[in-house]
């Protein structure tokens, strides 16, 4: 990869392939970003097939110094290493997040655990190296009933904290929650928001590349 080439990572967390609103809106976000940044590399990560979970063997392997890990340790951490590498390379991350039971899908939480490996036990972000290129995030948040910002909604605050931890200095959330009330109106507003956000993200990256 060219060191100057932008990398856009898309992370889907809906367990549905057909009829998924979060995937539909993420498609729109990716199309808008591609239109503004046609030379960017696209990396796709779909969590529908599942992600490994933290267990005793995984935790022990993660605590070993890199140079001291056995071949078994490296195999256990292979998926975590791959997911972390995708995030580290990405300049822009697009998340498609349906709300399940008031929060994020289990597969996305498992992804967070795999990526934020050094923070499983509650370590602070002080142990994380600052990214040389601040990342930007576009989060598409969908639901039928739970409304973003409501007292029973726990996805938004968690995502903002985790994305800041991962080095995202610019976090944009597209609120497409409460679809059961006015699906057509909410989707229309979400598409307008996506277009505006993605145009802004693209222009910022074009300006940064020109500096």
Convert the pLDDT of each residue in 118-141 to its tens digit: 777 766 655 555 666 679 999 999
Q: Which ranges constitute the DSSP H helices of 116-165?
A: 155-165
* pLDDT confidence of residue 168: 93
The three-class DSSP label of residue 171 is strand
Is residue 102 within 8 A of residue 136, CB to CB? The reply is no
Structure-token pair, residue 117: 């490996």
Q: Is the pTM of this model over 0.85?
A: yes
Stretch 169-175: mean pLDDT, rounded?
96
Query: Is the pLDDT reported for residue 1 higher than 60?
Result: no
Share of the chain above pLDDT 70, in %: 91
Digit-coded pLDDT (tens) for 198-211: 999 999 998 776 55
Query: Is the pLDDT reported for residue 189 higher than 60?
Result: yes
Distance between CA atoms of residues 74 and 106, nearest Å = 24
Digit-coded pLDDT (tens) for 23-79: 999 999 999 999 999 999 999 999 999 999 999 999 999 999 999 999 999 999 999
Q: Considering only 24-28, 96-100, 154-158, 165-169, which range has the smallest mean pLDDT?
A: 165-169
* pLDDT confidence of residue 131: 60
Stretch 80-108: mean pLDDT, rounded?
97
CA-to-CA dists, residue 27 to 30, 95, 96, angstroms: 5, 11, 9
List of residues 6+ apart from 122 with CB closer than 8 A: none
Query: Across the chain, how many H-helices and E-strands are there?
Result: 7, 5
* pLDDT confidence of residue 207: 73
Name the residue among 102, 106, 169 with its Cα closest to residue 135.
169
CA-to-CA dists, residue 79 to 74, 105, 194, angstroms: 9, 19, 31
List of residues 6+ apart from 41 with CB closer than 8 A: 1, 5, 6, 7, 8
Average pLDDT of the residues of the chain = 92
Name the residue among 140, 50, 160 with its Cα closest to residue 99.
140
| Helices 106-115, 78-89: inter-axial angle, 10-degree rounding | 80
Distance between CA atoms of residues 53 and 177, nearest Å = 28
Could you give the domains of the chain? 7-52+90-210 (3.40.50.360)
Judging by DSSP bridges, how do beta strands 92-98 and 41-46 pair with one another?
unpaired
Stretch 106-123: mean pLDDT, rounded?
88
């Amino acid at each position: 990869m060219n060191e100057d080439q932008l990398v856009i990572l898309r992370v889907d967390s809906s367990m549905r392939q057909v009829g998924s609103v979060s995937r539909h809106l993420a498609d729109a976000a990716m199309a808008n970003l591609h239109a503004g940044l046609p030379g960017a590399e696209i990396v796709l990560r779909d969590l529908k097939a599942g992600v490994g979970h933290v267990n005793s063997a995984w935790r022990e392997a993660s605590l070993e110094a890199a140079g001291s890990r056995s071949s078994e340790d490296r195999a256990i951490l292979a998926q975590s290493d791959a997911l972390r590498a995708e995030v580290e390379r990405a300049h822009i991350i697009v998340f498609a997040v349906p709300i399940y039971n008031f929060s994020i899908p289990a597969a996305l939480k498992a992804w967070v655990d795999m990526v934020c490996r050094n923070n499983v036990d509650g370590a602070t972000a002080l142990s994380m190296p600052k990214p040389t290129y601040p990342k930007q995030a576009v989060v598409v948040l969908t639901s039928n009933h739970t409304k973003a910002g409501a007292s029973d909604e726990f996805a938004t605050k968690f995502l903002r904290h985790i994305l800041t931890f991962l080095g995202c200095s610019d976090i944009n959330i597209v609120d497409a929650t409460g679809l059961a009330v006015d699906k057509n109106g909410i989707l229309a507003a979400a598409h307008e928001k996506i277009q505006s956000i993605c145009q802004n993200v693209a222009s910022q990256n074009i300006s940064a590349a020109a500096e």
